[in-house]
Chain A
Amino acid sequence: MSLARRNSGELAPHLRHWAERIEHVARAVKLDFFPLDFQLLDAADVNGIAAYGGFPVRYPSWRFGMEFERLDKSYTWGLSKIYELVINNDPVVAYLVRSNSDSEQKLVMAHVCGHADFFKHNCWFAATDRHMLDTMATHATKIRRSTDRFGLETVERFLDLALSVENLLDPYLPLRAHLRRTREPDPDLPRVTRTAAPTYDIVGFLVENAPLEAWQREILALVRAEAYYFQPQRMTRIMNEGWASFWHSRILTGGVLDASEIVDFADCHSGATLQSPGRVNPYKLGIELWRYAEERGEDIFRLRRIHNDASLLDELIDEGFVAREQLFVFGRNTRSGKNEVQDRDWRKVKTRLLADLAWGGLPQIELVEVDSDRELVLAHHHDGRDLQLAKAADTLVRLEALWKAPVRLETLEDGQPKRLRCERGEVRVEELAKPADKPAQPS
């Protein structure tokens, strides 16, 4: 039944041999992970699985078809190629592309060991569902059942509504809940789990409180569960990629590659960590961070356990790192309309990086209250970056459709406080009075 099984490709004997050898080396350098399940697939199939976010058993949706279209075209025209795909699951599932050369496969396997170790030990992943393959399959069954009862289009429309709000979540909630759970002395104690305002877990609030039909509530809940599953990956991408790359170089150059493959490895490795001029490549930044940490004599295993991207950068980035990596802050020159280098001061670089990474890279939107008219009141905690107001307005319309009562959001645009209020599908934007001007800051 499962597609993964139907298309599954056993590793060729020589690859299996290498997989075992690499796993052995990885464990010898103190990486620790759930069992690895390597699957060998054709490029087109890997694209298909990637389109489902790594889960071939995921529910059907046009959105995955769209993603597949993009990946498939991009692959067809030779613009990009997926080398591997790793799933945070127990066992860790890793898909290898059949057309990779042997040395590429070795690189990928070593890389996978790094990711697998990270998944198991980074605290932000502690609360993730380690049987997500099964869970995703259950979600798919639920959605299919609703589809059979209410029709494809009805279910799909609701699903699309739900997906518009899937990023309204509290990135820190799962870890908090996990810690509370694991430290609770008596697991039979009744747990207070109702989500109440104020909260950042707006999807969770809607699941519990929006006037929905049972099947709709079920879908919103599963969309939320999937969003929370993926959230830690967004919050640790730099670290995680860096960690995997850091270890794959170490494992491979430590005797796994045979001599003639070193050049291939150098080629392939430099391709993945290549930085395009002027932009930060998260993979490159990640691997350099780990190298830097090691040079400074830090316990990198401890760092990989307790941090996310934002906190790790906060811990590690200093003057030396910024100078070595040639990092700078850029901004748009309003006269030329071009982006240009603005500052190389390491403090500014660091501040900027942290701002970009804060709150899991999402706009921080809080549900403040439900007012006496049952109107949903949201506030955007502005960190210097404006929301895209047109998109925000569209989102409010969809929120209203879920909440079935007016919704309003307060935010800033160019420093001007604004209120967007949506009632019966119409959004009105209102300018609010500015708060008393702060004393001018010396610049």
Chain B
Amino acid sequence: MFRIEADRARFREIVRGRIRSDLKKYLSTAELIAKHGERAVSVPVPQIELPHFQFGENQKGGVGQGPGQKGEALDEGGQGEEGVGAAGDSEGRHILEVEVELAELAEMLGRELELPRIQPRGKREIQSDGGRYSGIRNSGPDSLRHFRRTYRQALKRTIAAGEWDPQHPRVVPERDDFRFRARRSQPVPDSSAVIFHMMDVSGSMGREQKEIVRIEAFWIDTWLRSQYQNIEVVYIVHDALAKQVDHDAFFHLRESGGTKISSAYELCLKLIQEHFRPEDWNIYPFHYSDGDNWSARDTERCITLLRDEILPRVNQFCYGQVKSAYGSGQFKKDLDDALGSDERVVTSSVAERGDIAQAIRAFLGKGR
């Protein structure tokens, strides 16, 4: 659809602030929420809302539906549902919200970005027997009875027998209708993987840059988790010095000062050597920065470290460059020049949130 793409391109230009700066004050980021269990995944969507006369957000309530005693608090889980008063413009546009499991989410990600499933590395095909109840059989213990399939079968039989009455849709399953889940073993490429997320937290990495890294890291974790039974995630932050931190600190820490990327690579290498033998682990280091490094000398040091020490031990090394107001973006160029021909190295650059999908595709698209 060519026309809408032109409108979308113009919208993106506005969001990036290249044109129509008068609209900037109306720009906000809404989030689409996918829920899976307790956690929610948000997909950010930029929005520009032209001012209108409208009712305040904090209206004094509304009308709800469901059980509950007077004074009982409502579940606020639902996001962005339309109330009765707020009506959309177009008629008959039916939007169905779905809940997603993490595994499904990974699958969708894989399908959407056409990610290949990961090929086992080297000879180590430890075929772990992934016993999963994904098959269906006609007999089995009651505890494995598949309610939906049983019901469906019973319904088919009812209809075939001409007993179906739409006014009284009653279906009584019989013994022959019962269906049971069956165990099916699936070869799983390998069992364990470790992800290193390394991030530059020097002064030039702002909140937006970290947010981009957070989203990217989340999806990478989600995908790799769907490919391996056992995942360890190691977080490393660095400015001129590197240190290992926990998940929380990784996304919230803000340091300042210079940037010495080699410090992170050294720490990563040290951890690999001490804890994650390449024979037992699939290793995925990811590094995110805005592309500034302290000196060309240090960049050389990084390249040597990668080429001689890190690359031989890992499945793939990924560098994601996040565009910031101050970053020069030199590091990606240097990496590409020195190691671009090595297929274990993948680099990508992200200027804004919309580019994240492309970056993930680049990182995970090789199936390594």
Query: Which residues of A are in contact with B by a Cβ distance under 8 Å?
Result: 3, 7, 44-45, 48-54, 56, 60-66, 68-70, 72-74, 76-88, 94, 111-112, 115, 119, 153, 156-157, 160, 163-168, 230, 233-235, 237-238, 240-241, 244, 253-254, 259-260, 262-263, 271-272, 275-282, 284-285, 325-333, 336, 338-344, 349, 352-353, 356-357, 360-363, 365, 380, 384-389, 391-392, 394-395, 398
Q: Would A361 and B7 be within 8 Å (CB), given that A153-B20, A339-B76 are in contact?
A: no
Q: With an 8 A cutoff between CB atoms, is B135 at the interface?
A: no
In this complex, how many residues of chain B approach chain A with their Cβ under 8 Å: the count is 85
**Bound-complex Cα distance A275 to B78 (A):** 10
Within 8 A of A (CB), among B1-45: 1, 3-4, 6-12, 14, 19-20, 22-23, 30, 32-34, 43, 45
A263 touches B61 (CB 8 A): no
CA distance A235 to B23 in the complex (A): 30
Shortest A324–chain B CB gap in Å is: 11
Residues of B within 8 A of A (CB): 1, 3-4, 6-12, 14, 19-20, 22-23, 30, 32-34, 43, 45-48, 50-78, 81-98, 100, 104-105, 108, 112, 151-152, 155-156, 159-160, 164, 166, 357
Partner of A339 from the list B11, B20, B74, B95 (CB cut-off 8 Å) is B74
Please give the distance in Å from A202's CB to the nearest CB on chain B: 10
Residue pair A259, B84 in contact (C-beta under 8 Å): no
Interface centre among B7, B43, B97 (most CB of A within 10 A): B7
| Residue in A51, A70, A349, A387 whose beta carbon sits within 8 Å of that of B53 in the complex | A387
Q: Cβ of A332: which chain B residues have Cβ within 8 Å of it?
A: 58, 60-61
Q: Are the C-beta atoms of A277 and B77 separated by less than 8 Å?
A: yes
State A390–B112 Cα separation when bound (angstroms): 40
- Expressed in whole angstroms, the minimum distance between the Cβ of A419 and any Cβ of chain B is 15
Closest CB in chain B relative to A19 CB, distance in Å: 16
Residue of chain B at shortest CB distance from A331: B61
Q: Which residue of A lies closest to B82 (CB)?
A: A282
Q: Is the interface of B mostly helix, strand, loop or mixed?
A: loop
Q: Which residues of B contact A328 (CB under 8 A)?
A: 63-66, 68
Nearest chain A residue, comparing its CB with the CB of B75: A277
> Contact at A68–B8, with CB atoms within 8 Å?
yes
Q: Given A60-B7, A61-B7, decide whether A233 and B87 contact each other with a Cβ distance below 8 A.
A: yes
> Which chain B positions have C-beta within 8 A of A398?
51
B53 touches A344 (CB 8 A): no
Report yes or no: B92 in contact with A340, Cβ–Cβ below 8 A. Answer: no
Asked, given contacts A276-B81, A341-B70, A388-B54, whether A79 binds B32 with beta carbons under 8 Å apart, the answer is yes
Instruction: Determine whether the beta carbon of B63 is less than 8 Å from that of A77.
Output: no
Given contact pairs A68-B7, A73-B45, A340-B72, A272 touches B94 in the complex (Cβ within 8 A): yes
A62 in contact with B61 (CB, 8 Å) = no
Could you tell me the distance between the alpha carbons of A75 and B108 in the complex, rounded to whole angstroms? 11
Is the pair A276, B78 in contact by a Cβ cutoff of 8 Å?
yes
**Which A residues are in CB contact (< 8 Å) with B98?**
78-80, 271
CB neighbours of B81 from chain A (8 A): 276, 279, 281
Chain A residues closer than 8 Å to B32, beta-carbon distance: 70, 73-74, 77, 79
6 contacts between A and B (CB under 8 A): A72-B8, A241-B92, A329-B63, A357-B85, A386-B55, A395-B53
**Contact partners of B23 in chain A: CB under 8 A:** 160
Chain B nearest CB from A429 CB (Å) reads 15
In the bound complex, CA of A237 to CA of B164 (Å): 34
A80, B7: Cβ atoms closer than 8 Å: no
Given contacts A44-B1, A53-B89, whether A386 and B56 have CB atoms under 8 Å apart is: yes
**A341 pairs with B55, CB closer than 8 A:** no
Residues of B within 8 A of A272 (CB): 94, 96
Nearest 10 pairs between A and B by C-beta? A331-B61, A65-B7, A394-B51, A65-B11, A259-B159, A356-B85, A86-B92, A65-B8, A48-B4, A48-B1
